Amino acid sequence: MRPLHSSVAPALSFNGGFVDTVGFLALQGLFTAHVTGNFVTLGVSIVHGTSGAIAKLLALPVFVLVVGLAHLSAAALHRRNLASLHLLMVAHTVLLGVFLALAVWLGPFTDGDSIAALITGMTGVAAMAIQNALSRQHLKAAPPTTLMTGNVTQAAIDIFSLMGVRDPVERAAAKTRLGPIMRNLLGFTLGCVSSALLYLAVGLWCLVVAVAVAAWTCVMTYEGKGELAKA
């Protein structure tokens, strides 16, 4: 089986930053791609009395449920010799499309705990939960595509190792790790910045970009028909 193109993980990282930023801007501080930030903004909502507390509480069980269902689906598809990565990517793309449609139709959201905001927000959380699940199951050779703290930590370790370590084997290992990490960090950063600028320009229609990127990764995973190369 051919390995996936090396740009798939950075593209998913771009979407991780893009969708997370749009969710935070449009849904009263809701992070769709990772759970940790929602605990922080939940505390802010409680202290300042702002809306969105219910959405942040719901995000964790919804995220966990969808990750679990994605894992079970991938296992079932694998037993049937079906392309589980590609099919999960398709499901991820479809949910992002629904997220876009709901956001444009029901937004803007002045109350993060309204029914419209909750339905829209949890759809975005579900879409990004699938991305997290497929990243852990199918892109094991790649750095995380949504959680950048670990990537920054490893990048710092490798950079300083290259400054002080002379052993050629250790230096080669650090360089091998550093390349994919830096590409994912760049992708995530570009996603955050571009989503903010596009949100200012066209509002929630900016999510069209995220759907387009996800659709492109569907094509790439279909053509690859395999796991990410262990580079």
Does the structure show a pLDDT above 60 at 105?
yes
Do the beta carbons of residue 117 and residue 111 sit within 8 Å? Answer: yes
- Where do the structural domains in the chain lie, given as residue ranges? 8-142+191-224
Residue 227 has pLDDT above 60, yes or no: no
- Write the burial class of residue 227 (CB in 10 Å: 0-12 exposed, 13-18 middle, 19+ buried): middle
- Average pLDDT for the chain: 87
Q: Give tens-digit pLDDT for 124-139.
A: 999 999 999 988 888 8
Q: What pLDDT score does 230 carry?
A: 37
CB contact at 8 A, 201 and 29: no
pLDDT in tens, 22-69: 999 999 889 898 777 887 877 777 776 666 788 888 999 999 999 999
User: Is the pLDDT at 150 greater than 90, yes or no?
Assistant: no
User: What is residue 4's three-state secondary structure?
Assistant: strand
Which of 109-123, 139-153, 204-218 shows the lowest per-residue confidence on average (mean pLDDT)? 139-153
Report how far residue 101's alpha carbon sits from residue 14's, in angstroms, rounded to the nearest whole number. Answer: 20
User: Which residues, in sequence order, are bridge partners of residue 228?
Assistant: 4
Given a cut of 70, whether residue 4 has pLDDT beyond it is no
Residues with Cβ within 8 Å of 14's Cβ and at least 6 positions away in sequence, in order, are 187, 188, 190, 191, 213
SS3 228: strand
1 pLDDT higher than 80: no
Sequence-distant (6+) residues with CB within 8 A of 4 are 139, 220, 221, 224, 226, 227, 228, 229
- Written as one letter, the residue type at 100 is L
pLDDT for 129 = 95
Q: What is the dihedral of CA 140, 8, 61, 98, to 10 degrees?
A: -160
Reported pTM: 0.88
C-alpha span between 179 and 100 (Å, rounded): 32
Sign of CA dihedral 116, 18, 206, 68: negative
